[in-house]
Structure 1
Amino acid sequence: MAMAFKMATMGMCVSDECRNSFMDMKWKKVHRYIVFRIDERSRAVLVDKVGGPDTTRKGGFCLNEVYDDLAASLPDDDCRYAMFDFDFVTVDNCQKSKIFFIAWAPTASRIRAKMLYATSKDGLRRVLEGVHYEVQATNPTEMGIEVIRDMVK
């Protein structure tokens, strides 16, 4: 039977799949991003989508295309959480990787959903340790790839 991690806020549980997918992204570099959703009925955070396999590190996909795929995975009328593993080169020519936590709460989403996601965010971040930066966005321009790039400078 799968074990879930109980979050301190709102009695929300984080599924093993969430934690395992995050660890696969963080340590094994299997995923480029993960989108999470809250199932209100079961009061659990679940994996909604994983994407952007490690091909960018091997010269396959363009990072912008992977990020565009992540952004397209976020609904226009509902909230989500997302993790994005961003690779970049520093001014000293060092290869780095930073994990971004994105709290997506579009204007068109229900007030109840916005409140549920806002109150559960910190609990999820405590379970999924290793996030370097956080972005809160209500529209795509607030979380564009340029916003991500500017944060690591």
Structure 2
Amino acid sequence: MASGVMVSDDVVKVFNDMKVRHQLSPEEAKKRKKAVIFCLSDDKKTIILEPGKEILQGDVGCNVEDPYKTFVKMLPRNDCRYALYDALYETKETKKEDLVFVFWAPEEASLKSKMIYASSKDAIRKRFTGIKHEWQTNTYDDINDPCNLADKLGGNTVVSLEGKSLRS
């Protein structure tokens, strides 16, 4: 089901910047996005960056103590969103960093919002080539528990997320 919604060039640029991990100067690394949220424009015709809804790598450890919890708090309780989250996690063997595409469709969102976001998801997903992890979540309890994200990243092999132990 296609909605005819377009994806803004800014959204694609942010994705490409987050996806490509090349040598960055310390100053550039601080400006790299850790998480970003996308929404529909007011006219519902374009997927855009939601103003002010991002976490920069340089914020982590300074004014953002727990990037995952901060990311979750940025999501609206009663409307849908798309997001990219750059997850830093550790398995039993190694440390990893992967982008996760999140489709947030809370139960409290209107039916109209759920329908337009669901029908537009393919448009943004096609522009995000190379995403290994996709997560659709519908309840705050589900997205608020970092173990659920860990399950998407590698199940019970994931032992920590953002430096915080998940399983004892």
TM-score (norm 1): 0.82
The answer for the alignment partner of 2:72 in structure 1 is 71
The answer for the alignment partner of 1:121 in structure 2 is 121
Count of aligned positions:
143
Structure 2 residue runs without a partner (length 5+): 22-28, 155-168
The answer for the alignment partner of 1:11 in structure 2 is 4
The residue correspondences of 1:19-34 to structure 2 (distance < 5 A) are: 19-28=12-21, 30-34=32-36
User: Amino acid of the residue matched to residue 55 of structure 2?
Assistant: G
Equivalent pair of 1:22/1:34 in contact (CA under 8 Å): no
Cα distance in 1, alignment partners of residues 12 and 127 from structure 2: 8
Residue 40 of structure 1, CA deviation: 5.0
Cα distance in 2, alignment partners of residues 63 and 91 from structure 1: 26
Q: Which runs of 4+ in 1 moved over 4 A?
A: 61-64
Equivalent pair of 2:39/2:47 in contact (CA under 8 Å): yes
The answer for the alignment partner of 1:4 in structure 2 is none
Query: Which secondary structure state, in structure 2, belongs to the residue aligned with residue 77 of structure 1?
Result: coil
Cα distance in 1, alignment partners of residues 65 and 146 from structure 2: 7
Equivalent pair of 1:64/1:145 in contact (CA under 8 Å): no
Query: How well do the aligned residues superpose, as a CA RMSD in angstroms?
Result: 2.4
The answer for the alignment partner of 2:58 in structure 1 is 55
TM-score (norm 2): 0.75
Question: 1:46 pairs with 39, 45, 48, which one?
Answer: 48
Structure 1 residue runs without a partner (length 5+): 1-7
Residue 119 of structure 1, CA deviation: 0.8
